[in-house]
Structure formats: C-alpha cells, structure tokens
Amino acid sequence: MYSRLLNDNHILGGIIMDDKKKIFVYGAGISGQGVSEVLARKGSAVILYNDDKKELDPAWLKAFEALGGEYIQGTDPEPYLEQCHLFIISPGIPFTTETVKKARNLGMEIIAEAEEASRLYKGHWCAVTGSNGKTTTTTLLGEMLATLPVKTAVAGNIGFALSKELQDLDQDSWVAAELSSFQLEGTTSLAPDVACIVNITPDHFERHGDMAGYVAAKSKIFAFQTPDQILILNADDPVSSKLGDKARSRVIWFSTEKVLPEGGFIEDGWFTLALDGKKERICQVSDLQIFGAHNEQDVLAACLSAHFAGVTAENMARVLKAFRGVEHRLEYVTAINGVKYYNDSKATNTDSAIKALEAFKDGHVILLAGGHDKMTGLDDLMEAVKAKTDALILLGEARQRFCEAAKKHGVQNIIMIDGTFEDAVRKAYSLAKAPQVVLLSPACSSYDMFANFPERGRVFKQIVMDLAKEAKA
C-alpha cells in the first residue's frame, strides 16, 4: 500500500516531493473545486484545470486565488502539466481524454479525488459501493454512525467532494462514504476499515467498456485492504458473491434469502446479525417505513457496516424505525384522484428500475422510462415491465431502443413521447385511474434532458404537484 499524505510537504510513497512542484486538478466541478480548495488551504500550489470554458462562482474563485491557486480553462494543458508532479482527476471525467494521455506521457502520478481524500484523512472509513442501493445504505449508515460519541460525516458520491467533507475530522472520527465506480477507478491505496458492496449489476458500460471493466472498478473498494479490515458482500448477488475469494480482508456476508451461520440475515421476520459467536436481533422487517425487498438488503448492509464501527443494536433499530427513505428513490410524492405518484429518478439503470417495479406487488403501474441510454441489456427489464405495468410511457434518447425491446417481449400499451418531459408526465396523468400508480423509474441516466437525476426528480415532483392543484381547481 502506498503511504498516505503525511504532512503539508507532500510525502508521497515515502518520497519527499519538490515543494516547487504543483498539483494539477482536472475538472472544475464539485469534486475538483473541493479538493483544490482543501489542498490550497494546506499550502499546496494547485492548478485547477477544465478542458472547456466554465464560469465558477466569483467569490469562491477569488478566495481560491488568494490562497495561491490558479484556475485554467479551455487551453492546452501541457505547459501546466509540466509544472506539476501529481494529477488528480474528477470522477466525471474518463481516463481516455487527451489531457490524461498527456499526463501519462509526462510520467505523472494520476489518482482520483477519492484517493487524495484517503491520503489526507486520518480517521476511520466505512465505504459503500454498488450498482443500486448504495445511497440508501450510506444514508442509513451515516445516521447510525451519528449515534457514536465521535465526529462523523456522510460524504462522497452522495453529496459534496469527499476531501472537503473530511478535512475537519480527527483520527477518532468515522465517515460513511458512498463511492461510485467512477470514483474508485483512480484509487491506488484507498483501504477503508469497512468496505461494503451492496450488489453489482450491469451499468456504465459507456465508461468501463463491459461487465469485466465495471466489476474491476467496483472491486477497487477492497483491493488495498489488509487482513484486519472488513469486506461486506451480498451472498444473494451472483456477481459480487464471487469476489470474496479475491479479498485479503475478512469477508462478512448478508442475505435476505437464507439464514447464514455468520453475517446478516432475516430470521422469523427480524433483521439479525450473527457475529463472533453472538446473535442479535435489530428490529422487525415490518418496523420499516420504506418498502421493497431491495431495501431489506440495504438495511442488512448498513447494520453490518455500523456494527464494525461500534454502533449498538439498539441505536441501529432506532435509526431504522425512523428512516423514511432518500429523495428520488421510490419517493412518494402525492395522490391525485386516488392514484399515487412515485419519484424513482435515481433509477438510472435497468436493475434499479426492476427493483422498483417489483416493490409494487399488485402491479398496475403506469411507468415512465427512458432518457440517456447506457446501452445495457433490456431483456430482464422488459419482462418485469410486462408483468407489472398497465402502460409503458417512453421518452428521451433511449425511447426507440426501449420500444423495440418492449415489443419483442410482448409488452402491451406502449406510448412514445416525442415531446417534453412534462408531456410524458401529463400523459401518465391522463391515463391513470385508481388503483393504478404512476412511477417515474427511467432505467437511464438523465443527461439528455437534465443536468442530473436529482434535477429530473425535482421537476417530476413539481409537475405532479401542479397537476394536483389543477385537479382540485
């Protein structure tokens, strides 16, 4: 394992770097700005670079420049790369860009923002990844960690730059960190005390190429762990369940389908942990205010992670009973004329949309799907659509491919929307009659119409609330 950043003099890998050398941060989004600010405040010379011209908040930029930072945009990066010894890449940028190639040609060390955060942070980690459920798991875990008598934080893919969120935490602190495959791809020494993979299903082939590349990126979460650290895996997941043999760390399993000799499971309707010869019941499944079998997996993953951070079963139960879910994940919006509306904008892949459909045991779903196509397989999704929906409303760039797959699987009542997102929601409103439900679960990313899935979810909720007002008028 590479040594961490030990002080402000840039001791990397045991080598004292030339203080005149600078750090090159690639990408001026949330992560890039966050790590640039943290490093500049520590006295490092930082160049924040963006390929395209991008206006930053003037107050932030002024403060960054006052710390000696430089912001360069829309010009050849090579003269600036030559001044630097370390290259930190933002998670949204692939490793195939010309700027990365130039850095490689110069022999620079290239790392992710999450890797730099791990070098700076001296406290304890619970790191969570997965194709689906990682935000719910991380949020639950964060609330459980908050019951500990130490400083805690929730950071990573779930919100702000990891390095910025961790900068004020001490060595006794604990962080619940959600890490995406994009963040993990560029790690070279990150070794969380507790690592958790909730599941792995096909996603982000446009970035990682294929399933093997995607699994390799996810596996970085435990690649540098030591035998005294913990890896939590889903025994029910066909992909992540095969990773245990590759780990040097202690592997702990969870399952919602069977009782395990050790790990987390459901027994007689209770969430149960059996660890180190002791069995503890946390709370009953019926105590949850969130629904869906996928949430039961998230609960077990969070409880196991929290256990190894020192959280008591009583505090886990208190958190679980009060938890109402995360925004944009099967989020109840309102009911109009007896029809319930659910915002599942966070379903940016097919497996997530399948889990959302399966949560509605009686079916009768009017499904809104489509968006920016990730080009993953659609067979399993369309079988779920056929079983659970009364109508499939398709929109966005993916609509034609989704339509062809739906027809192939015998899905009935397919409606293509060539207009706006609001047109699609209003179409669902015009069709839906109780006991049907309207579900936004796109199975696609949002980039064809929106900046991100939270924006898509917020717009959906606003349109639904406007429709509710119209219905009352």
pLDDT tens digits, one per residue of 117-152 = 999 999 999 999 998 889 999 999 999 999 999 999
- The pLDDT of residue 209 is 84
Residue ranges per structural domain of the chain: 22-107, 116-322, 331-471
Q: What is the arithmetic mean of pLDDT over 2-9?
A: 30
Dist CA 420 CA 370 (whole Å): 12
Check residue 13 and give its pLDDT.
37
In contact, 364 and 428? CB cutoff 8 Å: no
Taking only the tens place, the pLDDT of each residue in 320-337 is: 999 988 889 889 999 999
Residues 22-107, CATH architecture: 3-Layer(aba) Sandwich (3.40)
Mean pLDDT of 264-286: 97
**Residue 465: per-residue pLDDT:** 97
Rounded Cα distance, 47 and 41, in Å: 13
Count Cβ atoms below 10 Å from residue 173 Cβ, excluding itself.
Answer: 19
User: Sorting pLDDT into bands at 50, 70 and 90, what band is 12?
Assistant: very low
Q: How far apart are CA 150 and CA 327, in angstroms?
A: 27
Q: Which of 19-33, 51-65, 118-132 has the lowest mean pLDDT?
A: 19-33
pLDDT on residue 180: 92
Mean pLDDT of 425-444: 97
Q: Cα(183)–Cα(98) distance, rounded to whole angstroms?
A: 19
Tell the CATH topology of 331-471: Protein-Tyrosine Phosphatase; Chain A (3.90.190)
In the numeric block, the tokens 């339509």 are attached to: 403
Annotation: binding site for ATP: 130-136
Q: Measuring CA to CA, which residue among 57, 58, 55, 35 is closest to residue 47?
A: 35
Task: Name beta bridge partners: 24.
Answer: 47, 87
pLDDT at res. 389: 97
Q: What percent of the chain has pLDDT over 90?
A: 84
**Residues of the binding site:** 130-136
Separation CA 300–CA 309 (nearest Å): 14
Is the domain 116-322 a CATH 3.40.50.2000 member? no
**Mean pLDDT, the chain, integer:** 92
Residue pair 136/327 in contact (Cβ under 8 Å)? The answer is no
What confidence tier does 294 reach under pLDDT thresholds 50, 70, 90? Answer: confident
As a whole number of angstroms, the distance between CA 292 and CA 354 comes to: 11
Alpha-carbon span 236 to 220, nearest angstrom: 21
The closest of 153, 193, 225 to 308, measured between CA atoms, is 193
Amino acid 10: pLDDT: 38
- The CA distance from 319 to 325, in Å, is 11
Residue range 165-190: average pLDDT?
94
What's the mean pLDDT in 275-302? Answer: 93
- Inform me whether the pLDDT recorded for 7 exceeds 80: no
pLDDT at 375: 86
Q: Which two tokens stand for residue 271?
A: 């969430």
Distance CA 334, CA 342 (A): 8
**How high is the pLDDT of residue 159?**
65
Taking the CA atoms of the chain, what radius of gyration do you get in angstroms?
A: 23
Instruction: Compute CA 10 distance to the chain's CA centroid, rounded to the nearest angstrom.
Output: 30
Q: What is the DSSP string of 107-157?
A: T-EEEEHHHHHHHH--SEEEEEE-SSSHHHHHHHHHHHHTTSSS-EEEEET
The pLDDT value recorded for residue 447 is 87
Distance CA(342)–CA(366), nearest Å, equals 10
CA–CA separation, 205 and 210 (whole Å): 5
pLDDT digits (tens, 9 = 90+) for 360-416: 989 999 999 999 988 889 999 999 999 999 999 999 999 999 999 999 999 999 999
> Which string of b and e fits 195-232 if b means at least 16 CB within 10 Å?
bbbbbbbbbbeebbeeeeebbbbbbbbbbbbeeebbbb
Give dist(CA 410, CA 372) in Å, integer: 23
pLDDT at site 386: 97
pLDDT digits (tens, 9 = 90+) for 206-245: 788 899 999 999 999 999 999 999 999 999 999 999 999 9
Residue 469 predicted with pLDDT over 80: yes
Tokens 């934080």 sit on residue: 153
- The pairing of strands 152-156 and 174-178 is parallel
